[in-house]
Amino acid sequence: MRVTVGDISNALEEFAPLNYQEAYDNSGLLVGDRHQEVKSCLLSIDCTIEVVEEAIAKKCQMIVSHHPIVFSGLKSLTGKNHIEQAVIAAIKNKISLYACHTNLDNIRYGVNDKIAEKLGLTNARILLKKSATLSKIITYLPELNLAEIQAAIHQEGAGQLGNYDFCSFRVGGVGTFRALDGANPSMGQIGKIHEESEVKLEVLCQNKDVNKVLKSMIQAHPYEEVAYDIIAVQNQWEMGSGLIGELAEEMDPNDFLEYLKKTMQCEVVKYVPISKNIKKIALCGGAGSFLVKKAMAAGADAFITSDMKYHEFFSAEKSMMICDIGHYESEKYTTEIFAKVLSDKFPNFATLFSETNTNPIKYYTK
């Protein structure tokens, strides 16, 4: 099976759509030709010149990283810094660069679910859900075509809410129209007002699915001109920042710290001590200080994240253990997510885990 840069990009974007990334982010294909064949892909947290050199040595045609090598526009490519050096080396050696960053942070079964999985948390749910990620599609169709059109749009993801699918609302009525010269009506006659028993059908769908739902709906619809409305809604969806879940059994604070350090392979854990046992855990891969108050409100005994500032450690008022495990350490398992997505989509495709430790922070422990 021939796999291209575009195939890999599409597989990753189907799992973590680009429109779920934050406004400041730069996820997606950064360097490369979507039509280029890829025989092996290197998976990494970061894309540095050392990672590009590793890809060259291992004869990989593509690098998929969590963090984008390019966050803002490049005004020149002269090799004056590590970013330009990595991009130049990739272009020279025809290596495509793809990043899957905050879109992977925000989705279910992304960065935060992977941490929860490693820690063995149960009943995991999103800590801060995002809103305005859904649209309501309303259309009008002949009653006789209801089953066919519903099947077409639900197949594309419309009407899927949590653990339910085929969700919709419909009400009957009478539609009227008159076909004018040049029309090709499937029912009624040119120049005569026609009445048709119709159904008003309403479904919710994720914004990322709107275009394909509309395409499928129009293809299945018998009318030459299909009437429909798209309305943005503020409902929350199963995506957002952080997770909260429970340990199988509560743990003594010191035992929990040892378990956390071992499970996440941390050299150090910066933390705020508390006296109560630990059971309910909130977490956020990467920089998650903005979720401290939300974690407290949700009743978390501990909050795991990284990049906490000194004064932010006071914000839990000693009622919740804040654990800063390091940015790299909190996201080191993202490569496992990439590997599963690509192996599920392309069973015989070669994915390689980078052996380059890109963590810029070292710890002096002597």
| Residue 194 pLDDT | 95
Residue 234 above 80 pLDDT?
no
Q: What's the whole-number average pLDDT of the chain?
A: 94
| Residue 236 pLDDT | 65
Q: Is 232 helix (H, G, I), strand (E, B) or coil?
A: strand
Beta strands of the chain (E only): which ranges? 28-31, 40-44, 62-65, 96-99, 122-131, 134-142, 169-178, 193-206, 228-233, 236-251, 270-271, 278-287, 302-306, 321-324, 350-353
Tell me the average pLDDT across 164-187. 93
| Residue 58 pLDDT | 97
Which sign does the torsion angle of CA 319, 321, 327, 330 carry?
negative
Query: pLDDT tens, 342-354?
Result: 999 999 999 999 9
DSSP secondary structure code for residue 36 in this structure: S
Q: What is the CATH number of domain 108-129+240-325?
A: 3.40.1390.30
Fold match, 108-129+240-325 / 133-233: no
Residue 235 above 80 pLDDT?
no
pLDDT above 70 covers a percentage of the chain that reads: 99
DSSP secondary structure code for residue 360 in this structure: -
Query: pLDDT tens, 4-52?
Result: 999 999 999 999 989 889 889 999 999 999 999 999 999 999 999 999 9
CATH homologous superfamily of 5-102+333-353: NIF3 (NGG1p interacting factor 3)-like (3.40.1390.30)
| Residue 1 pLDDT | 82
Domain 133-233 has CATH 3.30.70.120: yes
| Residue 75 pLDDT | 87
Confidence of residue 208 (pLDDT cuts 50, 70, 90): confident
Q: Which residues contact 340 (CB under 8 A, 6 or more apart)?
A: none
Burial class (CB in 10 A: 0-12, 13-18, 19+), 191: exposed
Confidence of residue 164 (pLDDT cuts 50, 70, 90): confident
Confidence of residue 341 (pLDDT cuts 50, 70, 90): very high
Distances in Å between the Cα of 159 and the Cα atoms of 126, 166, 172, 262 are 21, 5, 19, 42
Residue 248 above 80 pLDDT?
yes
* CA-based nearest residue to 75, from 65, 87, 66, 64: 87
pTM above 0.85, yes or no: no
| Low-confidence winner among 43-52, 235-244, 269-278, 292-301 (lowest mean pLDDT) | 235-244
Residue 238 above 80 pLDDT?
no
Residue 270 above 70 pLDDT?
yes
Query: pLDDT tens, 123-139?
Result: 999 999 887 778 999 99
Residue 68 above 80 pLDDT?
yes
Taking the domains of the chain in order of start, what are their residue ranges?
A: 5-102+333-353, 108-129+240-325, 133-233
| Low-confidence winner among 131-140, 166-175, 335-344 (lowest mean pLDDT) | 131-140
Residue 275 above 80 pLDDT?
yes
Tell me the average pLDDT across 251-271. 96
